[in-house]
Amino acid sequence: MKLDPRTTALFTAAVILFVVMIGCGPRAKEIPEGTFVTILYTSDVHSKLEGCGCSKMGGGITRRSAELLAAREEDPAVVYCDAGNFMSGTPAVDKSKGQISVAVYNEMKTSVANISERELTFGVEAFKEAQKESKFKYVSANLRYNGSRIAEAFVVKQVKEARIAFIGLCGTINVMRSDTTFLPYGVSVEDPVKSAQAAVAAAKDKADAIVILSTCGDAMDSLIAQTLPDVNLIIGGRSYRANAATPWVVGETRIVRTEREGRVLGKMILIYGAEKKIKSFAPRAITMENSGRSDPQMLELVRSFIPDFADNPKEAKTAVGDSKR
């Protein structure tokens, strides 16, 4: 059936409007003064599932999950994200090609994770398979595979009335550990600062706050903060100087990272003032003690993969989740 020119024009306009609306992401809203956005996060987990057996900062996936559940009882809009290097690094998880990590991150209702070398340990195709099983988004502004993006540079999440952009950045080869620098053939790491500049330029009109998830290291994170004042928060990794409770401040940007292997859960609350501006930050490090609460559903899930898994390695005959060194 042939449509008349007027009908064709109206149909075309409707299609264009639909495409534009879909591409715009969450719409801008007024943000009431006093609105707070809670972001929970981890850095450099290296697929560690067990606690370390320490009396303090013991960590462990069942305790992390329990803390997330408790936080969401207080505020259902809590966002959980990972700064990258979470998918591989322990024998049992590596045997599953990262699928166990994906399963537990799905269970924790993760919102977004950055891609770094430990997400690509088993090759790009294996990562794509893991990605298909993931119920959360991956971001990377500076990783390419044969010249094409491995994931979107950023995603925008609507949290209450605020739109929060999450940008992913992978550290360059020179800051990677010697045992994890063998990126899959065809994968390249582009300059983090230039990549961040492009991503921030694309995201800033679509978001009310910009968060970078980074494995670039202390020096590069500081340089990015100096270069890009529009960035509100950098959740970093690849550092032994954990500071979830006491952020570094560069200009107006806060830089935080947690202890490795999931020993601590970082918390940052963004508190909005007038004119959709963040007026203050409330940081905290949530330590997970061996005697603390544990999520039995998470324990059941992990044991479906690893039958002899124990929260505390001292309770098990063998420590199934020891990180590779």
The helix (run of H) or strand (run of E) holding residue 83 is none
Q: What percent of the chain has pLDDT over 70?
A: 85
User: What average pLDDT does the segment 91-106 reach?
Assistant: 97
In the chain the beta strands, taken as DSSP E runs, fall at 36-42, 79-82, 112-114, 137-139, 143-145, 148-149, 154-159, 162-169, 187-189, 209-214, 233-235, 248-250, 253-256, 264-272, 278-287
Name the band, by pLDDT with cuts 50, 70 and 90, for residue 122.
very high
> Smallest Cα–Cα separation from 289: which of 55, 49, 53, 45?
55
Q: For the chain, give the percent of residues with pLDDT over 90.
A: 76
User: What is the reported pLDDT for 51?
Assistant: 87
Q: Which two tokens stand for residue 15?
A: 């299609």
How many CB atoms neighbour CB 307 within 10 A?
Answer: 8
- Region 258-276 average pLDDT: 94
Please say whether the beta carbons of 98 and 121 come within 8 A.
Answer: yes
What is Dmax (Cα atoms) for the chain? Answer: 77
pLDDT at residue number 240: 80
pLDDT surpasses 60 at 32: yes
Query: Can you tell me the mean pLDDT for 289-312?
Result: 89
Residue 10's pLDDT is 53
User: Residue 235: beta bridge partners?
Assistant: 213, 256
Lowest mean pLDDT among 91-95, 230-234, 287-291: 287-291
- The arithmetic mean of pLDDT across residues 90-102, rounded, is 96
Please name each of the domains of the chain with its CATH number.
Answer: 35-322 (3.60.21.10)
**The pLDDT value given to residue 265:** 96
Whether 325 has a pLDDT exceeding 90, the answer reads no
Say what the pTM is. Answer: 0.88
End-to-end alpha carbon distance in the chain: 68
Could you identify the residue written with the tokens 């230039």? 194
Across-strand partners of 263?
A: none
State residue 167's pLDDT score. Answer: 99
pLDDT the model gives residue 241: 85
| 133 phi/psi in degrees, rounded to 5 | -85, -10
| pLDDT value at residue 2 | 54
Average pLDDT over residues 183-210: 97
Kindly tell me if the per-residue pLDDT of 304 is higher than 50. Answer: yes
pLDDT the model gives residue 229: 97
Task: Convert 10-41 to b/e letters by CB count within 10 Å (16 or more is b).
Answer: eeeeeeeeeeeeeeebbeeeebeeebbbbbbb
| Lowest mean pLDDT, pick from 55-64, 187-196, 217-226, 294-303 | 55-64
Pairing of strands 137-139, 112-114: parallel
Q: What is the mean pLDDT of residues 29-45?
A: 95
Average pLDDT over every residue of 271-300: 91
Mean pLDDT of the chain: 89
Contact 245, 285 (CB under 8 A): yes
Listing DSSP states for 30-77 in one string gives ---TT-EEEEEEE---TT--S----SSS---HHHHHHHHHHHHHH-TT
Highest mean pLDDT among 14-18, 90-94, 182-186, 316-320: 90-94
* CA 242, 47, 294, 112 torsion-angle sign: positive
DSSP string, 207-223: -SEEEEEE-S-HHHHHH
